[in-house]
Amino acid sequence: MDLDILHEDNHIIVLKKSAKIPVQSSRTGQVDMVSILKNYLFQQNPDKGEPYLGIVHRLDQPVEGVMVFAKTPFAAKELSGQIKQGEVDKHYLAVVYNNQNQKKADTLENYLLKEKQGNYSRVAAETVAGSKRACLNYKTLQENEELSLLEVELLTGRHHQIRVQLSHARLPIWGDTKYNQSHKEEQKWTQIGLCSYKIQIVHPKSKKVMKFQIEPQGEIFKKFGY
């Protein structure tokens, strides 16, 4: 598999993750981004043995977009700290189904609970044990009779957060077979209308502000000029 690398230095590697490939998988024989990247780094310096690769954030398997990985423990610690402090700007494009009462822009704040089975999260009361605060901003960029293109600013990083919160707000994402009722019965794999298209970090070593942006490749985004 050819890697779509946006930036690489001694501390970080930034690339575009394709849809359908998981970041990390426990399934035997399944290709994931970690194994692909480790193989790539090993081929660059085979004499050094197994390379270090730090995961500092994740994308769901059906979601495409920009990802940042750390190549050293120092970089992993610095980037993880930025994410924990909310200092990493993460923006997504989402294609959602319209509803009659939707706002052009809004802030969504909920408490999410990750279920112990089924790789699933749901909105829960703040008082429910294990629930965590989730917050995002969205604004409408384009719309037609059925669908809207949203820009989503992710303010917290919870399991399936954007998918769960938009579905709860009656703005389910196109193609989401887990949280969109109208797509749950589909048998074939679908690339959902969600793309991590822009991210801004501070370089862990140089402290330089770095911005990365891509265009979504999912078929549904063509309806909006991509």
Give the Cα separation of 22 and 156 in Å (integer).
Answer: 21
Under 8 Å between Cβ of 219 and 147: no
**Structure-block tokens of residue 97:** 């189904």
What letters, b where the CB count within 10 A reaches 16 and e where it falls short, cover 170-195? ebbbbbbbbbbeebeeeeeebbbbbb
Q: From the candidates 2, 4, 60, 176, give the one annotated as an active-site residue.
A: 60
How would you classify the pairing of strands 121-124 and 105-114?
Answer: antiparallel
Compute the distance between CA of residue 86 and CA of residue 138 in angstroms, rounded to an integer.
17
Q: Is 60 a catalytic residue?
A: yes
Q: Yes or no: say if 66 and 50 are a contact pair by the CB < 8 Å rule.
A: no
Residue with tokens 């265009």: 215
Residue 195 corresponds to which tokens in the numbers above?
């793309």
Whole-angstrom CA distances from 35 to 14, 16, 30, 130, 179 are 15, 15, 9, 31, 28
Burial of 60 (0-12, 13-18, 19+ CB in 10 A): buried
Annotated catalytic sites, by residue? Answer: 60
